[in-house]
Chains A and B, each alone.
Chain A
Amino acid sequence: MLEIKNLHVAVDGKEILKGLSLTIGAGEVHAIMGPNGSGKSTLSYVLAGRAGYDITQGSILYNGEDLAALAPEQRAAKGVFLAMQYPVEIPGVTTMTFLKTALNSQRRARGESDIDAVGVLKLVRAKAKTLNVSEEMLKRALNVGFSGGEKKRLEILQMAIFEPQLAILDETDSGLDIDALRLVAEGVNALRDPSRAMLVITHYQRLLDYIVPDRIHVLAKGRIVAEGGKELALELEAKGYEHIVKEPA
């Protein structure tokens, strides 16, 4: 589904990703772990299409298509979803209005018909319940005054509503206490599906206790330096990044 080859990405002329290669198939959950500054967030932004992240070399193929040629909204309509580390607050737009606008924009881009306000409300309510997202939150301005946990839950709620093919979770565990983490992880696990690929980006092994990946990649200084199964996370936890990063990949 996702095939990244020798990807080089520069931000403000400074190279952050230096030849990253990664392949994820449908139904697979991969984790990217790495120390701060290794390029984890850069990878998530370049996949979602944020401006200012310049691909200087290499390619990203998504279902065989050149992802870099698509605008962020086109990627979303084609099923790419990034759960952001820092969801933005937008005063003046209610959460419900935002969800309805986004869902119908994606549908329109795919040539599907709009879902009316009542239909969206039903859909959102049903999914919100399992993620403990209250009616009151949906009425508030998007992310405004939400706690860290509420913001992350809303990101996962969006993932449940939009049903993406490729979900990228950027540091979804940051700022969460153990109960919030468990709730978010359960939400993510419920969305594991043979037709869906997930890329979980995290600094800590903790999240991977709950969202168990098929494959772990260690990112350091813009390159994948180690790969392995879920046991790699435990090794990293025990020995630290220093140990692995120093060894030849």
Chain B
Amino acid sequence: MTLALNLDRKAEAAAVVHGHGLPHRRIEEWKYTDLKSALGEKGLGAVTAGWLVGNLPSGVEMFDLAQPDPPAWVMNHFARPTQNVMRAASLALSAGGVAFRVPKGTQIADVLKLDFSGPGHVRGLLVLEAGAALTLVEGVGIADFRNVGFEIVLGEGASLEHVRISPEDGEAVLVEEASVHLAARARYRAHFAGFGSKLSRMELEIALEGEGAQAHLSGVAVLDAHAHSDVTTHVIHRVGNTNSTQLFKHVASGSARAVYQGKVTVAKGADGSDSNQSAKALLLGDAAEADLKPELEIFADDVKCAHGAAVGDLDAESLFYLRARGIPESQARGLLLQAFLEDAVAEIGHADLRELVRTELLTALRAIA
């Protein structure tokens, strides 16, 4: 039934999960997010979550990972070994998922829409061969607990835009680990819009492995009540002349908490790398919290790396200016919040998706402004 390779890697992954146990706050990478207590006695479980593909755009090949006899491209790329507990868990504790391939040189105009649904663990794989291009919209369905392990492989000159929209869900614990490998001149553009759940963690590991590879990460979060949102990124510049940018903007009200941990590693010899990291949070109210931790690890020469983080409140002077021009207070606050988030939203390349995120943000902001 299941392929031998899969079994070997599943056994390895199970060993990682057993060895490390559930992530808790004494582990540096999980310092701000307590998954163990959010899951409580139920723990990780061993259920396989579902997935749903709207219309498969023509030119995109799909394979159901629960099926036997996977094609070579799945065999080649699926389930790279990992020490990441949750990614290992998504393999060890699930029996399925979905894989996509865009063949060499194929540019897909239609958007591929993928929804993960239901509780449990699930795997995703997306392979863009050399010169291929795709826009992926990832939807996040409601569930008590779900853990998605997503692998993305971009061949030379391939280009992917990945937009993930996570709707408001007060009770959900949603964890995802995406790992992206980029060959020379490949481009990965990702945007993560989050509207708050009991615990949401988006973990991204980006490996820039070929010269000229670029990764542009951005995200917005509008959080209310007890929402907890964690964006943890690790961008590794393995070779020189690679470029990465990160721009994350969070708004937290009530007793919500926004976490951003971003690490950029420039490996030895990756000279001429260029990286820029920015994370900002606006806190509305005294009980809201933000933990922003950008980090740099540089082993190369002649690199250009900048990082910054800032936490603040709405600017009183701007608010007064708008009100003095006749704009009612809640509308003025909404306008300023929208303006705060705008440069991160503007990072979305696909115009319709950018508008979609803007509209969702407006609705969410109206509720808290």
Contacts and interface: CB of A to CB of B under 8 A. Distances in A.
Interface in A95-113: 98, 101-103, 105-106, 109
Contacts of A105: 325-328, 331
Interface in B307-334: 315-318, 320-329, 331-332
Contacts of B336: 90, 93
A92 B343 contact: yes
A116 B18 CA distance: 63
Contacts of A75: 324
B342 A72 contact: no
B321 A77 contact: no
Given A71-B323, A72-B324, A102-B322, A88 B329 contact: no
A18 B316 CA distance: 26
Interface stretch (A21-29, A47-55, A119-127, A131-139): A47-55
A46 interface: no
B331 to A, nearest CB: 7
Given A92-B340, A92-B343, A76 B325 contact: yes
Contacts of A141: 339
Interface string A54-78: 0000000000000000011101110
Which residue among B326, B331, B336 has the maximum number of chain A CB atoms within 10 Å of its CB?
A: B326
A141 B342 CA distance: 11
Which residue among A51, A71, A102 has the maximum number of chain B CB atoms within 10 Å of its CB?
A: A102
A228 interface: no
A102 B325 contact: yes
A91 B318 CA distance: 10
B276 interface: no
A158 interface: yes
Nearest to A52: B316
B27 to A, nearest CB: 37
A157 to B, nearest CB: 12
A92 B320 contact: no
A175 interface: no
A102 B331 CA distance: 10
Interface string B62-73: 000000000000
Interface string B258-282: 0000000000000000000000000
A77 B317 contact: no
B335 interface: yes
A11 B328 CA distance: 24
B338 interface: yes
A105 B322 CA distance: 11
Interface residues of B, number: 24
B327 A102 contact: yes
Contact of A88 (B321, B327, B335): B321
Contact of B326 (A50, A87, A102): A102
B283 to A, nearest CB: 18
Which residue among B325, B328, B343 has the maximum number of chain A CB atoms within 10 Å of its CB?
A: B325
Interface residues of A, number: 28
B222 to A, nearest CB: 15
B112 to A, nearest CB: 30
A133 B167 CA distance: 42
Interface in A131-181: 141, 158, 162
Contacts of B326: 73, 76-77, 102-103, 105-106, 109, 162
Contact of B318 (A73, A88, A109, A162): A88
A82 interface: yes
Contact of A76 (B316, B324, B342): B324
B325 A88 contact: no
B320 A87 contact: no
A10 interface: no
A50 B320 contact: yes
Nearest to B332: A73
Contacts of A101: 327, 331, 335
Contacts of B322: 90, 98, 102
Nearest to B316: A51
B220 to A, nearest CB: 12
A88 B317 contact: yes
A191 interface: no
A72 B340 contact: no
A84 interface: yes
Interface in B333-369: 335-336, 338-343
24 contacts: A71-B323, A71-B329, A72-B320, A72-B324, A73-B323, A73-B327, A73-B328, A73-B329, A75-B324, A84-B324, A87-B321, A88-B318, A90-B339, A91-B339, A92-B343, A93-B335, A101-B327, A102-B325, A102-B326, A105-B325, A105-B326, A106-B326, A162-B325, A162-B326
Q: Give me the 9 closest cross-chain CB pairs, A-B, nearest first.
A: A92-B339, A76-B326, A106-B326, A92-B342, A102-B325, A72-B323, A105-B326, A88-B321, A93-B339
Given A87-B321, A105-B326, 13 more contacts: A49-B324, A50-B320, A71-B329, A75-B324, A76-B325, A77-B326, A84-B321, A88-B315, A90-B318, A90-B336, A93-B336, A102-B325, A109-B326
Interface of A: 48-51, 71-73, 75-77, 82, 84, 87-88, 90-93, 98, 101-103, 105-106, 109, 141, 158, 162
